[in-house]
Amino acid sequence: MSTASAPTLSEAPYWYLTRSTGIVAFVLLTVALAVGIAATQRTLASPSWPRFATQGLHRNVSLLGVAFLGVHIVTTLLDGFVNITWWAAVVPGASHYRTLWVALGTVAFDLTVLVLITSLLRLRLSAALWRRVHWSAYALWPLSWLHFLKTGTDAAHGRFGVWLAIACAGVVSAAVAGRVVAGSAEPQPLRSPGR
């Protein structure tokens, strides 16, 4: 949709909801990734902010991000302007609309669901399996970043979305660099409070 002929909120409520919830979901998943990386750093823990507090923040921000992601996908399916079917939300490449860039969002969504389910079932899984699946968060973030930049109206034509995407890339890069430089403990499944 071009900006010049952009419909109003009352004309295209689902389109506005798709855009806004997509951006909120992306920002929340960015924060969740950065906080998750921070949770692996024992040196960041202190008596006033123990590691389980960082882990709890990571879990809650992630769940909120997934909730917004769910609304993003439902409103995409309800939006009459783009004809995206429900299976295109789970099968990469099935969307006729911006096939490649929506497919990246689809793969990111599938990985998000996988990470979510294994985290909910983590007490029934081995720590090694849970950890291996959880590492796919490092893949889903750049996929959703590209999806944002190449599919989103708000990143088109140098709009604010570009700056937001750059800022989020800075946050994730800083978190990853901090982890690489400081070294880290392996991420642990969230079980009980402790440092």
Q: Which is nearer to ligand HEM, 109 or 130 (CB)?
A: 109
Radius of gyration of the chain (CA): 18
DSSP 185: P
Q: Give me the least distance between CB of 130 and ligand HEM, in Å please.
A: 20
Residues within window 57-96 making contact with ligand HEM, judged by CB under 6 A: 69, 72-73, 76, 82, 84, 88-89
User: Measured between alpha carbons, how far is residue 108 from residues 114, 155, 177 in Å?
Assistant: 10, 18, 22
> Is residue 106 part of the contact set for ligand HEM (CB under 6 A)?
yes
Contacts of 31 (CB under 8 A, 6+ apart): 61, 65, 171
Rounded to whole angstroms, the Cα distance separating 136 from 133 reads 6
Q: Give me the least distance between CB of 36 and ligand HEM, in Å please.
A: 15
> Is residue 37 part of the contact set for ligand HEM (CB under 6 A)?
no
Q: Which is nearer to ligand HEM, 51 or 95 (CB)?
A: 95
Q: What is the dihedral of CA 93, 99, 102, 103, to 10 degrees?
A: 20
Using CB under 6 A, list all residues that contact ligand HEM. 1, 18-19, 22-23, 25-26, 29, 69, 72-73, 76, 82, 84, 88-89, 102, 105-106, 108-109, 112, 144, 147-148, 151-155, 161
